[in-house]
């Protein structure tokens, strides 16, 4: 029997916020150590206040395996990964990416990775 995949999206935008916390003394830092749940709560609160006319969900996520770049937030269906996200960036991500479909280039993984390579 062949597996059939549904391509129907449940949400117009689905936001995953890493809250992973590694054991004390781990070699790598993790997103949740600094302010993972605070960012989850900020996204949920601000999205509810904004009351956008689209179906969306913001939720906590486990490790997205790029913690070396700081707090990580992934937005789907675009598959954009934002790194080094601070509480002050939540409004910009919501206004630019979620409400207006414009990527926040300064936080995009590929751009941060390229800057580090210089």
Structural domain of residue 99, as residue ranges?
13-117
The answer to whether residue 50 is domain-embedded is: yes
What does the pLDDT look like over 25-80, one tens digit per residue? Answer: 777 777 777 788 999 999 999 999 999 999 999 999 998 989 889 899 999 999 99
The answer to whether residue 31 is domain-embedded is: yes
Q: For residue 104, how far is the Cα from the chain centroid?
A: 12
pLDDT at residue 31, rounded to an integer: 76
**Domain count along the chain:** 1
What does the pLDDT look like over 96-106, one tens digit per residue? Answer: 999 999 999 99
Average pLDDT, the chain: 91
The answer to whether residue 29 is domain-embedded is: yes
Task: Annotate 16-80 with DSSP letters as a single string.
Answer: EEE---PPTT-SS--THHHHHHHHHHHHHHHHHHHT-SS-EEEEEES--S-GGGSSEEEEETTTE
Between 27 and 15, the more confident residue is 15
Q: Is the pTM of this model over 0.85?
A: yes
CATH number at residue 46: 3.40.30.10
């Amino acid at each position: 029997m062949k597996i059939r995949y549904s391509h129907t999206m449940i949400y117009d935008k689905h936001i995953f916020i890493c809250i992973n916390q590694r054991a004390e003394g781990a070699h790598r830092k993790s997103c949740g150590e600094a302010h993972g749940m605070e960012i989850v709560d900020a996204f949920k609160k601000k999205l509810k206040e904004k009351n956008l006319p689209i179906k969306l969900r913001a939720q906590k996520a486990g490790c997205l395996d790029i913690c070396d770049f700081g707090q990580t937030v992934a937005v789907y269906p675009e598959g954009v990964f934002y790194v080094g996200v601070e509480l002050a960036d939540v409004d910009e991500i919501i206004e630019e990416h979620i409400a207006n479909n414009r990527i926040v280039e300064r936080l995009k993984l590929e751009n941060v990775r390229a800057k580090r390579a210089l």
